[in-house]
Each structure stands twice: as structure tokens, then as C-alpha cells.
Amino acid sequence: MDQRALRYEQLSDELASMIAGRILRPGDRLPSVRRLASEKKLSVSTVMQALRQLEERGQIEARPQSGFFVRLPMAGQNPQLEPHTRQRLSRPVAVDINNRLMRALSLCDRPDMVPLGSALPAADLLPIASLQRLYRLVGRQAGALLDADSHAGAGVNHPDLVRQFVRHSLTWGQPLETDEIVVTNSCTEALALCLGAVTKRGDTVAVESPSYFLMLQLLQHLGLKALEIPTHPRHGISVDALEIATRERRIAACLLVSNFSNPLGSLVPDPEKKRLVELMAARQIPIIEDDIFGQLHFGSNRPWPLKSFDTTGNVMYCTSVSKTLSPSLRLGYVAAGRFQADIQMHKILTSGNTNPVTQALAAHYMASTAYDRHLRGLRRALAKQVMQMSEAVLRYFPPGTRLSQPQGGFVLWVELPAGIESAGLFEDAVNAGIAFFPGELFSASGQYRNCLRLNCGNPWSSRFERAIKQLGALAANYVTAAKPR
Ligand SMILES: Cc1ncc(COP(=O)(O)O)c(C=O)c1O
């Protein structure tokens, strides 16, 4: 073996044993290539060779502009750990989750609870101080925003904000068009407007399984039925199953999150996105796409949304700044394609224009270089937090636990061993001061009773480690109780 080969293998062994000995833990950043080279007195290419070897073995991963990070031991897509999701199509069902959900939300709404419930990023991760400064600036400069004319105008949008939304879509296969955008009070409003525009009571809407509970609540509120489509934990909604469903029955719309779904964190691959968009256009079934997590990718590139494959205006693209700037701004938009005029009218009739001061504030912030910097930092922090939470779940939950491997966003989906009902665990957890959401809230047909969703929006600390350990112990009590004597 030549000297160089020996040196890179030595370095990769050394790093591997630090990972095995947990000196370097999942989510930790390795020292930079330049630092390793200088401290170990090696060439940059020898260090790179060592790191590439660890990368090929699945022990570390490269993140653009950030360096190399330790991966979870399970990373490398261990199917034994992948959660089970619905495999077969069944019939559309009426949704009835509202009361259960409101109860869960109210039980978790205590300031002392460990916040593993609602999918919210910690305030420390958001640019609150910058937004506060901008409020003063916008307030001073924009007296006109508060006068009656700005409210009575026909346009609901602040043009600077729309320009920012379009600017951020320039890297997609097909950017957004300025005149299809309707600025809304949040993503929730955007979704509700879209459903209102293309469905009527009794219609069936195709959704992922599991799907985000707020979407199910909207269906319930509008008297719509949910048709749960099989969804792969990593690759998202099954286009094959959707295709069969569209042949079997009339579907009024398809409502989904193709980039980092909530709760699975799944990502639909580009060829499947294209196929899905073409299929729905051919069948004239509108797509309502929620891309609220699209900017929070852990990999190098921002995945394109379904919207960027849309050539017929059939996709209504909804998002908001709730996960990236602040959920309290209540600011989102829909790029509504061929439904724009209808949606704009619904918007004006139901809530009028979106607050112009908030729009101006967000436009200012999004135009600054601070915005891109903030997003880079946020992605890095969330990727690390998801990894730390995953590792703790694997360590403290009973054997047989499975969990999602999100490639973006910040929720984790956990499947407990068969027989453990997360609804019971939820009551125990609430009593112990720990919030989470039981799996059955993510299904209109009451599936996923042994699953739960965890919010990873907070920086990891001993408080969260203790909470996961306690949740794991509470879950283990059910395993013991379920065992035959
Ligand atoms: C997929 C998804 N869509 C929409 C929302 C709600 O967004 P907003 O606060 O903008 O209404 C959330 C919040 O958790 C979400 O996870």
C-alpha cells in the first residue's frame, strides 16, 4: 500500500472511531477540510479522500456551504426502521377529527409543556429582532399604507412582496407569474380559498396518508370527503394509486404536500412530480399544493414544487412565511393558475385585502441579504435538530420503534411497536408535561393509532433529551402491559 493510501485510511478510521465512540454525534459538524489538513499535516486531497470514504459508507454527509456532518446510524435508508403507511386504496370517508384535535390542542396549550406538539420553529431561530426593527422603519415610511385608499384598491397584493415571491421561484423549472398570485392571511387561508373555489359539499378530495390534520379539518368544515392515497414514507404520494383512484371515482381536487410532507417529511421525486401534474391536468382534476416546507431542505438544492411542472394552470400553489419568518405574521399566498380570478374574488369577499403593513414589512426583509443568510442558518439548525431528535428516539423508545427520515422540514413521524396506542400515551405524556400529536389525528379513517408526530423546531437541550427518555419509558410500560403472561 502506498503512503498516501495509508494516510487517508488512517484519518478515515480515526474519524470513524470517534463516531462509534460518540465523541462525534449525529448532526455534529466535522472540522473543516482545511483545518483537518493543517492539523493532521495532510494534503487537502488526502483529507477529501478520507471524508469521501466515510460518506460512501453512509457515516457522514456533505451539506453545501456547510461542510460534512455525522449521519444517524440508520441513515442509508434502513427499511427495517421505515414506518408503515397505508398500502391500499379504500373508499372516501367523511372527516370527523375536529373535536379530538381541538381537545389535543387545548391539552397541549400550557406554557410549561415540553413543546413537541405544534410544528413551530423556536423563536430563537426566527429573525424576530430584524422584523421588529423593520416594523419601525415601515411604520415611519409608509403612512400611505394606513390610509383608506390602500384598503379600497382593487389589487390585494403589495407589488414589492409579489416581486420577492416571484424572485424566489426563479430557480425553479418554471417560475411563478406575477399576475397569478393572491396574497393571503397565511397558508391556511390559501388552502381554504382553493378548496372553496373548486369543490362543493359532498365532493371527494384525494389526500396523502397520513396527511396534515389541518387539511382534514378544512375538509370536515367544508363537508368534503377524504380519499386517503397510499404514501411512501420517503417518496411521498403514490402516483400509481392516485391514477387508479381517478379511474374509479370522481375526485374534485388533490390536496397534498410534495416537498417534505407533514407528518412524514417525504419528498416526491421529480419524475413522479411531473407525472402527477400531467395526470391531473389530463383528468382535469385541480391540484392544491402546500409548499410551506419547500425552503427548509437539508440537501443541497431546493426541490421544485409541483407548480414548476405545471403548463396548464391546473396547480394552485400555497405557502406562507409561518415556518421561515414568523407564524404570527399570518402572511402567505396562493399562485392560483387558471383559478386566480375566482380565488381573488373569494378572498376579497371573505377577508378583504391582506394587511398592507405586514406585506410591506415582509417585502423589505425578503429583499435583504439577511433573508438568504437567515434561511441558510435555519436549514442547518433544523437538520441538526431533526437528527438529534431521531437519535434520541432510537435510543430511548422501545425496540421495534420505527421512524421517518425527513429530508427537510422539522417534524418526525414515529411508529411504536404494534399494540401501543398513542392516544393512551398522549394522556400519560400530557400529565407528565410533554406535548405531541397522536397519529390518529393524521387520518380521516382513524389509522396510525400506534404512531405519533414530534415537533423538532426547538434547539436540542437536556430538557428535550429528558422528555424523549420519559416518553420512551411511558411507551415501554405499554409494551410490558401488552405482553402475554
Ligand atoms: C403543511 C402545513 N400547511 C399549513 C400550515 C399552516 O400554515 P399557516 O400558519 O401559514 O396557516 C402548517 C403548519 O403547521 C403546515 O404544517
DSSP for 424-475, please give it: HHHHHHHHTTEE-EEGGGG-TT---TTEEEEE--S---HHHHHHHHHHHHHH
Ligand 1 contact via 317 beta carbon (within 6 Å): no
Local confidence pLDDT in tens for the 485 residues of the chain: 566 668 888 998 889 888 877 788 877 889 999 999 988 899 999 999 999 988 887 788 887 777 888 887 664 456 668 899 988 888 999 999 999 999 999 999 889 999 999 999 999 999 999 999 999 888 877 667 776 565 555 567 999 999 999 999 999 989 999 999 999 999 999 999 999 999 999 999 999 999 999 999 999 999 999 999 999 999 999 999 999 999 999 999 999 999 999 999 999 999 999 999 999 999 999 999 999 999 999 988 999 999 999 999 999 999 999 999 999 999 999 999 999 999 999 999 998 889 988 999 999 999 999 999 999 999 999 999 999 999 999 999 999 999 999 999 999 999 999 889 999 999 999 999 999 999 999 999 999 999 999 999 999 999 999 999 999 999 999 886 665 54
Strand 315-320 vs strand 287-290: parallel, antiparallel, or unpaired?
parallel
Backbone phi and psi for residue 116, each to the nearest 5 degrees, phi listed first: -105, 10
The number of the ligand 1 atom at minimal distance from the alpha carbon of 119 is 14
Ligand 1 contact via 186 beta carbon (within 6 Å): yes
Distance 200 CA to ligand 1 centre (A): 23
Domains in the chain (CATH in brackets) are: 3-70 (1.10.10.10), 79-123+376-482 (3.90.1150.10), 126-371 (3.40.640.10)
pLDDT computed for residue 153 by the predictor: 55
Ligand 1 contact via 318 beta carbon (within 6 Å): no
pLDDT computed for residue 306 by the predictor: 98
DSSP structure class, residue 297: B
Whether the Cβ atoms of residue 110 and residue 118 lie closer than 8 Å to each other: no
| Surface-to-core class of residue 150, CB atoms within 10 Å of its CB (0-12 exposed, 13-18 middle, 19+ buried) | middle
How many residues does the structure list for the chain? Answer: 485
Backbone phi and psi for residue 235, each to the nearest 5 degrees, phi listed first: -105, 5
Distance 324 CA to ligand 1 centre (A): 11
Whether the Cβ atoms of residue 378 and residue 128 lie closer than 8 Å to each other: no
Strand 332-335 vs strand 181-184: parallel, antiparallel, or unpaired?
antiparallel
DSSP H or E run through 83: none
**Which of 185, 187, 454 to probe ligand 1 with, by most ligand atoms within 8 A of CB?**
187
The number of the ligand 1 atom at minimal distance from the alpha carbon of 189 is 11
pLDDT computed for residue 76 by the predictor: 47
Backbone phi and psi for residue 64, each to the nearest 5 degrees, phi listed first: -55, 140
Whether the Cβ atoms of residue 403 and residue 396 lie closer than 8 Å to each other: no
Nearest CA to ligand 1 atom 14: 119
Distance of alpha carbon 406 from alpha carbon 298, whole angstroms? 9
Distance of alpha carbon 426 from alpha carbon 438, whole angstroms? 7
The residues, any chain, with a CB within 8 Å of residue 241's CB and separated by 6 or more, are 89, 229, 230
Distance of alpha carbon 383 from alpha carbon 408, whole angstroms? 7
- Look-up of cell digits 462509534: 20
Within 13 Å, how many C-alpha atoms sit on residue 48's CB side? 4
Whether the Cβ atoms of residue 329 and residue 135 lie closer than 8 Å to each other: no
Q: Name the pTM for this structure.
A: 0.88
pLDDT computed for residue 247 by the predictor: 96
> Grid coordinates in use for 122?
423556536
Strand 451-455 vs strand 60-63: parallel, antiparallel, or unpaired?
unpaired
First and final C-alpha spacing in the chain = 59
Ligand 1 contact via 290 beta carbon (within 6 Å): yes
Q: What angle do CA 441, 444, 450 make, to 5 degrees?
A: 45
